[in-house]
Amino acid sequence: MQSNAAVKVVKFGGSSLADAEHFKKVADIIKADPSRRYVVPSAPGKRFGGDSKVTDMLYECYDRVVNNNDYTDILDKIKERYDLIIKGLELNLSLDKEFSAIESILSNRASCDYVASRGEYLNGLILASYLGFSFIDAADVIFFDSDGLLDSEKTNKVMCKKLSHYEYAVIPGFYGSACDGSTKTFSRGGSDITGSIIARAVEADIYENWTDVSGVKMVDPRIVENPKTISVITYSELRELAYMGATVLHEDAIFPVRLTGIPINIKNTNRPDDEGTMIVLQAPDDDVRNEITGIAGKKGFSVINIVKDMMNSEVGFGRKVLSILEKYKISFEHIPSGIDSMGVIVSSALLAESRERVINELSCEIVPDCISIEDNIALVAVVGRGMVESVGIAARIFKAIGEAGINVRMIDQGSTENNIIIGISANDLENTIKAIYYEFDGKENS
Ligand code: ADP
Ligand code: ASP
Ligand code: MG
């Protein structure tokens, strides 16, 4: 839809827009390259350890309204955050009208999503004013369907048409409109998805995602100090890692750009010259295939352990188990099984509400010899496009975990052989990730 000139979509996360000083860095980055035309801001993040993200404060505000508690002090604090930014940027801008509107909607029991979306909306107004760019409300260009899912085609059509009238624009991240016209947000971290939707609509050459780290690291830098940066990662590898806890990019952010193969470049707002990580459809021909690309893990899983003699020869056994989980809207993560036993790994949060009913119904329907639920399970994903071609990776992973004295509860390997999932006790999560990282880091090119 655009002319031949390069077009870049740039998204800045909350940590990149937490205060006026960061806004200045962001503006320098944008102004340094005229092809950075469409800008997606998140809400202000934490300025220092112990500080609050504005989005979290907005959720708190909503909770107070629901529980009939006074929310004015927290709303005042939020307004203070924005006023400080406006003052630091010496802008002639007032958000008084916007805050009165939020207050009146809050006292009329606003929806949770509406309240949460104001973080990005207000930051977008400030950033557009500071850059001298047009402001486009995401509610006018991003749409969800009646199932609450992104309506990709309608969104793409409307977004494409709208942006063709603007050379430079700021579009706030994280939200859009539900099909009844109310405001709806993506899940947490969803501004990454907004950026990707816009990159698709304007057929961007690149989607730059600016954050507070110089790219996707082999492991979470909060677990291992100064881990290696991944220079190139494929969309599918990234998705595996992001889903399992590498929160640097929302796992669904690859879908809109994957359709046309637009690369995503993760960059550091505080170190703009660092190359960061390129996320691409396919690794280049001269790809250096490290044995593993990255490791991520998360807590919060439970295993439903089912034991029954000869379950493997009972036709329909698996279907019966899964249909009961389906009834309670519980999706499963993995199903490691033997001839007389099966473990179904599910999110503990999803199971919480119906755990007794699930056990009772499974007991009646499949008449197991034994059934139990084990909580506090963590999953670790070891991901790598090079794994399929390297012999002995699994042996090295399990040797490293064994030497760290960690008991493995479950193992699963995806059919594409680019990941190995390991279930362990939640207490062992950090040590497992460290043990695997140190086994591979530094040894892979030796
Ligand atoms: P933003 O506010 O820019 O959206 P996020 O906090 O959502 O930033 O994501 C960046 C953070 O993701 C980093 O500060 C880091 O703590 C965390 N993170 C977790 N896993 C990884 C990883 N593998 N590589 C880089 N960062 C990671
Ligand atoms: N501000 C939202 C959040 O904190 C969305 C985002 O940052 O991407 O989840
Ligand atoms: Mg984020």
Of 192, 251, 188, 241, give the one whose Cα is nearest residue 219. Answer: 241
C-alpha 119 – ligand 2 centre gap (Å): 8
Ligand 2 nearest-atom number relative to CA 188: 9
**CB neighbour list of residue 104: distance below 8 Å, 6 or more residues apart:** none
Question: What pLDDT was estimated at residue 290?
Answer: 75
Torsion sign, CA atoms 360, 362, 365, 367 = negative
Q: Is the distance from the beta carbon of residue 144 to the nearest atom of ligand 2 less than 6 Å?
A: no
Q: What distance in Å separates the CA atoms of residue 73 and residue 54, rounded to the nearest whole number? A: 14
Q: Which ligand is nearest to the CA of 187?
A: 2
Is 310 in a helix, a strand, or coil? coil
Q: Which ligand is nearest to the CA of 175?
A: 2
Of 429, 434, 336, 306, give the one whose Cα is nearest residue 376. Answer: 429
C-alpha 18 – ligand 2 centre gap (Å): 12
pLDDT tens-place values along the chain, 446 residues long:
445 689 999 999 999 999 999 999 999 999 999 999 999 999 999 999 999 999 999 999 999 999 999 999 999 999 999 999 999 999 999 999 999 999 999 888 779 999 999 999 999 999 999 999 999 999 999 999 999 999 999 999 999 999 999 999 999 999 999 999 999 999 999 999 999 999 999 999 999 999 999 999 999 999 999 999 999 999 999 999 999 999 999 999 999 999 899 999 999 999 999 999 999 999 887 776 678 999 999 999 999 999 999 998 899 999 999 999 999 999 999 998 889 999 999 999 999 999 999 999 999 999 999 999 999 999 999 999 888 877 889 999 999 999 999 999 999 887 777 899 999 999 999 999 999 999 998 554 33
How many degrees, rounded to 5, is the angle at CA 360 between CA 356 and CA 361? 120
Q: Which run of H or of E encompasses 75?
A: helix 72-88
Per the listing, tokens 């059509």 go with 157
Q: What distance in Å separates the CA atoms of residue 211 and residue 268, rounded to the nearest whole number? A: 5
Question: What pLDDT was estimated at residue 61?
Answer: 94
C-alpha 411 – ligand 1 centre gap (Å): 27
Ligand 2 nearest-atom number relative to CA 250: 8
Pick the CATH number of 294-440 from 3.40.50.1820, 3.30.950.10, 3.30.2130.10, 3.40.50.2300: 3.30.2130.10
Q: How far is residue 396 from each of residues 27, 240, 241, 260, 385, measured CA to CA in Å?
A: 46, 20, 20, 37, 17
14, burial (CB in 10 Å: exposed 0-12, middle 13-18, buried 19+): buried
C-alpha 5 – ligand 1 centre gap (Å): 31
Structurally, at CATH architecture level, domain 8-280 sits in 3-Layer(aba) Sandwich (3.40)
Question: What pLDDT was estimated at residue 445?
Answer: 36
Q: Which ligand is nearest to the CA of 40?
A: 2
Q: Which ligand is nearest to the CA of 120?
A: 2
Question: What pLDDT was estimated at residue 107?
Answer: 83
Q: Which of 17, 46, 55 to mutate to test the pocket of ligand 2 (most atoms within 8 A of CB)?
A: 55
Per-domain residue ranges of the chain: 8-280, 294-440
**Residues lining ligand 1, Cβ inside 6 A:** 13-16, 42, 45, 189, 211-213, 216-217, 219-222, 246-248
- Token pair in block for residue 85: 């930014």
Ligand 1 nearest-atom number relative to CA 294: 23
Question: What pLDDT was estimated at residue 12?
Answer: 98
Task: Quickly list H helices, 148-306.
Answer: 152-163, 191-201, 235-243, 254-258
C-alpha 17 – ligand 3 centre gap (Å): 12
Q: What distance in Å separates the CA atoms of residue 289 and residue 287, rounded to the nearest whole number? A: 6
Of 287, 207, 314, 292, give the one whose Cα is nearest residue 254. Answer: 207
Nearest CA to ligand 1 atom 10: 248
Q: Which of 39, 54, 238, 248 to mutate to test the pocket of ligand 1 (most atoms within 8 A of CB)?
A: 248
Question: What pLDDT was estimated at residue 130?
Answer: 98
Q: Which run of H or of E encompasses 85?
A: helix 72-88
Query: What pTM did the predictor assign?
Result: 0.93
Nearest CA to ligand 2 atom 5: 189
Ligand 2 nearest-atom number relative to CA 194: 8
